[in-house]
Amino acid sequence: MGLYFLKELFYSIADAFSALRFSFFAKKLSMADRRILQNHFPYYARMNPKFKPEFERKLERMISSKEFIGRGGIDEVTQEMELLIGATLTMVLFGWKGIQLPHFNRILIYPNAYYSTVTKTYHRGEVNPKFGLIVVSWRCFLEGLVDESDGVNLGIHEIAHALKLENLISRNDEYGFLDPNTKRQYRAHMQEEMKQMKAGKFSPFRSNAMIDEDEFFAVVLEYFFEKPQSFQKHRPDFYQTLVHLLRQNPLVVSPPTETSLST
Ligand SMILES: [Zn+2]
């Protein structure tokens, strides 16, 4: 019996334990949790019922794999905070089977906009790749979630930043999950849209998108999930490229209701 065999045996036992650990500690959604989602998470509320079990499974895995930490006066992270932030992650990543952004395994939650000693300004949210953090102000997060008609959503914004970074971090399993060809097509659309915006032409995206490529991506993703029908109307080809890049079409997975279509 060689060393190699012992090593293999050790690893297979370790794997079995980590699978067991996951199944013991994985959080399960209760009926109360589903009610919270139904009442406060529009993407889930209007989701085509055939996708709901998949969404719930992915959400359970997502909240089991992240650590939610209160800051700046939030002593206890509530079930609602975990569920709604976890649901936003699950929504943005719904098109993939196992992508969970493991580099960003800690979510910091502040009650309000918070002061950053680094930038000397107030922040609504940020991502910190060095420490693997996604940071959100709970108040700003909720404001973004409640009003879909403005196409502004802090949670989606910060997760979009994390997604783009995770795709570039080569030392983890999720490196390069964005399809390179589709990414190239996306860049062409981005350059075209930015040119239009800078020339003062009409664009549905808010002006923060013009800051740089990262802000453009984050702003566009907010709009993609909150106002997919307006996005598709504005630039069908750009919308379709994002459908391919994120491997989901919100107009199919979570079709807008009559009222939201008419606004
Ligand atoms: Zn940003």
Which of 143, 171, 175, 141 shows the shortest CA–CA distance to 159?
141
Provide the pLDDT for residue 25: 65
pLDDT of residue 169: 83
Q: What residue ranges in 46-111 does DSSP mark as E strands?
A: 67-70, 106-110
What pLDDT is recorded for position 198?
A: 95
pTM: 0.87
- Determine the distance separating the centroid of ligand 1 and the alpha carbon of 160, expressed in angstroms: 8
- How many angstroms is it from 214 CA to the middle of ligand 1? 7
- Whether 102 and 174 have beta carbons less than 8 Å apart is answered as yes
Asked if the structure places residue 218 within a domain, the reply is yes
- Does 13 reside within a domain? no
CATH of the domain at 127: 1.10.472.150
**Cα separation, 57 vs 73, whole angstroms:** 31
Distance from the alpha carbon of residue 64 to the mean position of ligand 1, in angstroms: 26
CA 33–ligand 1 middle distance (angstroms): 29
Q: Measured in angstroms, how far is the CA atom of residue 213 from the centroid of ligand 1?
A: 10
Neighbours of ion ligand 1 (CB under 5 A): 215, 218
Identify whether 152 is part of a domain: yes
In a domain, 43, yes or no: yes
pLDDT at 200: 96
Residue 87 lies in a domain: yes
Structure tokens at 205: 């995206």
pLDDT confidence of residue 58: 97
- Is residue 199 within 8 Å of residue 207, measured between CB atoms? no
Q: For the residues of 140-184, what is the DSSP string, one character each? A: HHHHHHH--TT---HHHHHHHHHHHHHTT-TTSTTTT-S-HHHHH
Establish if 213 belongs to a structural domain.
yes
151: containing domain: 28-262
Identify the pLDDT of residue 5. Answer: 53
What spacing in Å lies between the alpha carbon of 41 and ligand 1's midpoint? 22
C-alpha of residue 146 to centroid of ligand 1, in Å: 19
* Backbone φ and ψ of 78, nearest 5°: -80, 165
As for how many domains the chain has, the answer is 1
Q: Identify whether 21 is part of a domain.
A: no
Measured in Å, residue 157 CA sits from the centre of ligand 1 at 6
Asked if the structure places residue 51 within a domain, the reply is: yes
Using the mean position of ligand 1's atoms as its centre, give its distance from the Cα of residue 234 in Å: 23
Strands 121-123 and 125-128: unpaired
Each residue's pLDDT expressed in tens, for the chain with a length of 263 residues: 455 555 555 555 554 554 444 445 678 999 999 999 999 999 999 999 999 999 999 999 999 999 999 999 999 999 999 999 999 999 999 999 989 999 999 999 999 988 888 788 888 999 999 999 999 999 999 999 998 889 999 999 999 999 999 998 866 677 788 999 999 999 999 999 999 999 999 999 999 999 999 999 999 999 999 999 999 999 999 999 999 999 999 999 999 875 444 44
